[in-house]
Amino acid sequence: MSRTLDILLFGPPGAGKGTQAAALAARHGIPHVSTGDLFRKNLKEQTPVGLVARGFMDRGLLVPDEIVCDMVRLRLEEDEAAAGSLLDGFPRTLPQADALEGMLRRLGRRIDHVLFFDAEDEVLVERIAGRLSCSGCGAAFHRTFAPPRTQGVCDHCGRNGLSVRSDDNAETVGARLLEYRAKTTPLLARWQGSDTLHVINAGRPIAEVERALALAVPARAEA
């Protein structure tokens, strides 16, 4: 049994990666590393990385590889990630995948599982159009499919401030889907046909997707 565990959540915008990530990471005792969340944190703190990233995020474009890879490398070198990581939204390009493999190799690790969240474009657009995000902890809700228990209040951190993400608008969503098709889907070929890849039908309700993920990657004690 591997002593470390590195899992990738891979898939288009709005597929539900972030929704599943926290519980999945907790289940496996590894930190949730979302590059989108890291950029939004940098943006909130007005760091140089955040200010550069904003120009790309606001247009639905991918942030340049070098910036993303440096940010992830620093995160993976933290003690908290010594036992592994749940990478959400990284890698998204072939150079990012090469860089990740190099980072993990230097740490004596490898990608153990790629969970591909597969969903139709209409599902993605409907989910993004109804998404509400917590400005405190980043948790995602949906006006129809996953409303908060109390309107406007985050179930997870209790903050009163659910809002629409600045890149969740019709124009940017189109650009994000195009970027995904052009730059991210080619990555699938790298894992196709290997035991590492698990294709998850992410078009189903949240609880069903959660069950499919648990079956794909059983908790280590159960493995």
Residue positions annotated with a catalytic role: 17, 92, 131, 165, 176
Strand runs labelled E in the chain:
5-10, 32-34, 84-88, 113-118, 131-134, 140-142, 162-163, 197-201
Q: Is 75 in the site for ligand AP5 (CB under 6 A)?
A: no
String of contacts with ligand AP5 for each residue 2-21, x by CB under 6 A: -----------xxxxxxx--
Which of 18/31 has CB closer to Mg ion? 18
Query: Out of ligand AP5, Mg ion, none, which partner does residue 42 contact, by CB within 5 to 8 A per kind?
Result: none
Question: Residue 89 CB, nearest distance to Mg ion (Å)?
Answer: 6
Question: Residue 25 CB, nearest distance to Mg ion (Å)?
Answer: 13
Site of interaction with Mg ion (CB under 5 A): 18
Sheet holding 162-163, edge to edge: 140-142, 131-134, 162-163
Q: Rounded CA gap, 8 and 91, in Å?
A: 8
DSSP-derived letter for residue 63 is P
Q: Is 65 left (phi over 0), alpha (psi -120 to 50) or beta?
A: alpha
Please name the residue that has the structure tokens 């590889």: 65
Query: Token pair for residue 161?
Result: 């401030």
Query: Out of Mg ion, ligand AP5, none, which partner does residue 145 contact, by CB within 5 to 8 A per kind?
Result: ligand AP5
Burial of 149 (0-12, 13-18, 19+ CB in 10 A): exposed
Size of the site for ligand AP5 (CB under 6 A): 35
Question: Residue 58 CB, nearest distance to Mg ion (Å)?
Answer: 16
Question: Residue 107 CB, nearest distance to ligand AP5 (Å)?
Answer: 19
Q: Is 56 in the site for ligand AP5 (CB under 6 A)?
A: yes
Site for ligand AP5 in 134-193 (CB under 6 A): 140-142, 145-146, 167, 176
Site for ligand AP5 in 109-128 (CB under 6 A): 127-128
CB count within 10 Å of CB 112 equals 17
Short-list 156, 186, 183, 220, CA closest to 65: 183
Which of 199/220 has CB closer to ligand AP5? 199
Query: Out of Mg ion, ligand AP5, none, which partner does residue 10 contact, by CB within 5 to 8 A per kind?
Result: none
By DSSP bridging, strand 140-142 and strand 131-134 are: antiparallel
Residues making contact with ligand AP5 (CB under 6 A): 13-19, 35-36, 39, 56-57, 60-63, 68, 89-90, 92, 96, 127-128, 130-131, 140-142, 145-146, 167, 176, 205-206, 209
